[in-house]
Amino acid sequence: MTATAVHAVAEPTICAPLPVLGADVTVPLATGGERTYAALDYAASAPALQRVWDDVAAYAPYYGSVHRGAGHLSQLSTDLFEKSRATVAAFLGCRPGDELLFTRSTTDSLNLLAGALPEGCEVFVFETEHHAALLPWRSSRLTVLDAPRSHEEAVRTLERALAAREPYGPALVCVTGASNVTGEIWPVRELAAAAHAHGARIVLDAAQLAPHRPVSLAELDVDWVAFSGHKLYAPFGSGVLAGRADWLRSAEPYLAGGGASRTVTRAEDGGVEVVWHTGAARHEAGSPNVIGAYAVAAACTALTEAGRLFGAGADRVGVVSFTAEGWHSSHLAAALSAEYGIGVRDGLFCAHPLVRTLLEAERTEPGECGAPQETDGQALSAVRVSFGAGTPEEHVERFLGAVRELLTDGARLDYRTVDGRWVPAV
């Protein structure tokens, strides 16, 4: 493969509409035989696009260190890494002066931003947030807002909370673009306008939104956006934080180490003195995950070329959560897997406050991600089905038929719990 060809890898060729890996994988059924696996847990981790896998495989033999190598492969890898940054920045509609950082995930991105908040910053979040957007701000002055029942109520609730805060101090609003529990689209542009009208900034958790809808910092008028590659059909351990540079450049580096440092010298007191970089490198210490960054860029290119899975008029993405009367959610999820070859998620979906609210449970009622300890009756949990690119109609139809059969006729097998999980008792 020539150097010219490796450069071309940064601009993948157009291919058929978004096939994914694993479409033909079969799994054993506890009732006997095998069946093609119906992957309906995209909201947790989406399968890799075939396009992404092929692009990464084409680059892999030419992998090299990034930024600090004089060798030919290091130069090619550095070029690919920075072209990937530019591709993702275009995908996100970044504005002139915005910074784009490669991280490990949405969780990592929001924790990075939390560490960059100026002293005394107040943070406002709704209880509807995923834990990745709810928990990083606990060391700040945090206000958690009740779950709204409409877009209008969300905006009014935020406006009231911001109007009551101390004037002139820094403030940040963190909001999801689409719920990982209900799939509902949030009024991001209106919430951004409310935040800015009261002197606050806003960060958008686009982990569920970006795979389905265009996300533009400029058009939505948000200050930052965060998302994960593994939900964007690029499961190679990379995420993104993009947006305003000032707080990021004035903060201590997220990680201290090589790459983040411009110069390091011995100090007279026996320690070391450091001058840190001011750009993206400031928060990207260590050897960059060039394959992860390139995978995200390849996914962004593929999604842009293919268009989106839901039209502009859709008010939700492909996420639905539910409970079934008389069924423990983990029992139902186990039966869907063991008897029908269908993979869904059960539990509280790392959004405990929201699920408690939706199930009309007390805020302090026990419950945890995965299977709760209780195994009888309607426990505090739900089942979530989610889908996206590459999901065949047969998988959705099989899921609907399986739920109908299980609720009407019951499971064909007996189940027991092992380490808190329901499994066939065979």
Cβ 196 vs Cβ 202: under 8 Å:
yes
Q: Which of 107-111, 207-211, 312-316 bottoms out in mean pLDDT, i.e. has the lowest?
A: 312-316
Residue 97 Ramachandran class (φ > 0 left, ψ -120 to 50 alpha, else beta)? left
Beta carbons within 8 Å of 197's beta carbon, 6+ residues apart: 159
Residue 66 has pLDDT above 80, yes or no: yes
Using 50, 70 and 90 to split pLDDT, how confident is the model at 9?
very low
Q: How many CB atoms lie within 10 A of CB 256?
A: 11
pLDDT at 357: 92
Averaged pLDDT of the chain: 91
Q: What is the mean pLDDT of residues 60-84?
A: 94
The phi-psi region of residue 315 (left if phi > 0; otherwise alpha if psi is between -120 and 50; otherwise beta) is alpha
Q: Are 284 and 259 in contact (CB under 8 A)?
A: yes
Cα–Cα distance measured from residue 323 to residue 359, given in angstroms and rounded to the nearest whole number: 9
CA distance 303 to 296: 11
Please give the residue that has the higher pLDDT: either 379 or 320.
Answer: 320
pLDDT at site 318: 94
Indicate whether 3 pLDDT > 50: no
Looking at the predicted structure, is the pLDDT value of residue 374 above 80? Answer: no
The whole-angstrom separation of Cα 64 and Cα 426 is 49
Whether 294 contacts 53, CB under 8 Å: no
SS3 87: helix
Average pLDDT over residues 355-359: 91
Q: Can you tell me the mean pLDDT for 382-406?
A: 96
Nearest partner of 328 among 370, 380, 399, 405, judged by Cα:
380
- 353: CB partners within 8 A, 6+ apart: 127, 128, 134, 144, 147, 363
Model pLDDT for residues 77-110, shown as the tens digit of each residue: 999 999 999 999 999 999 999 999 999 999 999 9
pLDDT higher than 50, residue 23: yes
**Residue whose structure tokens are 């909201």:** 43
pLDDT tens digits, one per residue of 247-271? 999 999 999 999 999 999 999 898 9
State residue 311's pLDDT score. 61
What per-residue confidence (pLDDT) applies to 367? 59
Q: How far is CA 155 from the centre of its chain?
A: 23
pTM score: 0.92
pLDDT at residue 379 is higher than 90? no
Least confident of 13-17, 70-74, 222-226: 13-17
The answer to whether residues 300 and 100 touch, using CB atoms and an 8 Å cutoff, is no
What's the pLDDT at 362?
67
Pick from 186, 170, 169: which is nearest to 178 by CA?
186
On the question of pLDDT at 180 being above 90, the answer is yes
Determine what percent of the chain is predicted with pLDDT higher than 70: 90
Exposure b/e, 355-368, CB count within 10 A at least 16 = b: bbbbbeeeeeeebe
Token pair, residue 258, equals 């090589």
Residue 377 clears pLDDT 60, i.e. is over it = no
Q: Are 357 and 46 in contact (CB under 8 A)?
A: no
Q: By three-state DSSP, how is residue 34 classified?
A: strand
Q: What is the DSSP string of 10-25?
A: TSPPP-SS--BTTTT-
d(CA 168, CA 313): 38
Lowest mean pLDDT among 18-32, 89-103, 188-202, 300-314: 300-314
| Cα–Cα nearest to 351, from 68, 119, 129 | 129
Q: Which residue has the tokens 């998620």?
A: 345
Q: What angle do CA 197, 198, 202 make, to 5 degrees?
A: 85
| pLDDT higher than 60, residue 14 | no
Indicate the range of 77-86, 93-102, 237-246, 356-365 predicted with least confidence: 356-365
Pairing of strands 26-28, 34-36: antiparallel
